[in-house]
Structure 1
Amino acid sequence: MRSEYEVANSVLRKFLPEEHVETILDIKPDKLKQRGIKALVTDLDNTLIAWNESDVTPQLVRWFSSLEKAGISVMILSNNSEKRVKLFSNSAGVSYIYRARKPLPFAFRRAMKIMNVTRDQMVVVGDQLMTDVWGGNQVGAHTILVTPIASTDGWATKMNRHLERFIFSLMRRKGWLKWEE
Structure 2
Amino acid sequence: MVSQFKPTWMVKNIYDLTPAQLRANGIKVILTDLDNTLIAWNNPDGTPELRHWLTLLELAGIRVIVVSNNNRKRVDRAVAPFNLDYIHRALKPLSWGILRALRRWHLNRDEVVMVGDQLLTDVWAAHHSGVRSVLVKPILKSDAWVTKGNRLMEKVVMWRLRHNYPELTWQEDLDERKAH
SS at match of 2:169: helix
Letter of the 2:95 counterpart: P
What TM-score does the superposition give when structure 1 sets the normalisation length?
Answer: 0.89
Seq. identity, %:
42
Instruction: Say if 1:42 and 1:77, in contact at 8 Å, map to a contact too.
Output: yes
Q: Which runs of 5+ in 1 are unaligned?
A: 1-10
Q: TM-score, normalised by structure 2?
A: 0.90
Cα distance in 2 between the residues matched to 1:30 and 1:116:
23
CA deviation after TM superposition for structure 1 residue 177, in Å: 4.9
Q: 2 CA distance for matches of 1:104 and 1:75?
A: 17
Judge conservation of contact 1:171–1:177 (CA < 8 Å) in 2.
no
Q: Which has the higher contact order (CA 8 A, sep 6+)?
A: 2
Aligned length: 171
Is the contact made by 1:73 and 1:115 (CA closer than 8 Å) also made in structure 2?
no
CA distance in 1, matches of 2:123, 2:166: 15
Q: Does residue 165 of the first structure (1) align with residue 132 of the second (2)?
A: no
Counterpart position of 2:48:
58
User: Could you tell me which residue of structure 1 aligns to residue 60 of structure 2?
Assistant: 70
User: Does residue 96 in structure 1 map to residue 96 in structure 2?
Assistant: no
- Note if 1:136 corresponds to 2:121: no
User: 2:57 is matched by which residue type in structure 1?
Assistant: L
> RMSD between aligned alpha carbons?
1.4
Out of 136-145 and 53-62, give the one that drifted further: 53-62
- Identify the residue that residue 21 of structure 1 maps to in structure 2: 11
CA distance in 1, matches of 2:76, 2:54: 16
8 Å Cα contact 1:22/1:147 also seen in 2: yes
Other structure's SS at 1:71 match:
coil
Note the alpha carbon deviations across 1:109-141, whole angstroms, 9 max, x for none. 111122322111100000000110000111111
Query: Which residue in 1 is equivalent to 2:2?
Result: 12
- Name the aligned partner's letter for residue 13 of structure 1: S
1:82 CA displacement: 1.5
Does the aligned pair in 2 maintain the 1:76–1:94 contact within 8 Å? yes
In 2, Cα distance between equivalents of 1:17 and 1:132? 9
Equivalence for 1:3: none
The alpha carbon displacement at 1:179 in A equals 1.4
- Give the corresponding residue for 1:47: 37
Question: How many angstroms does 1:92 deviate by?
Answer: 1.2
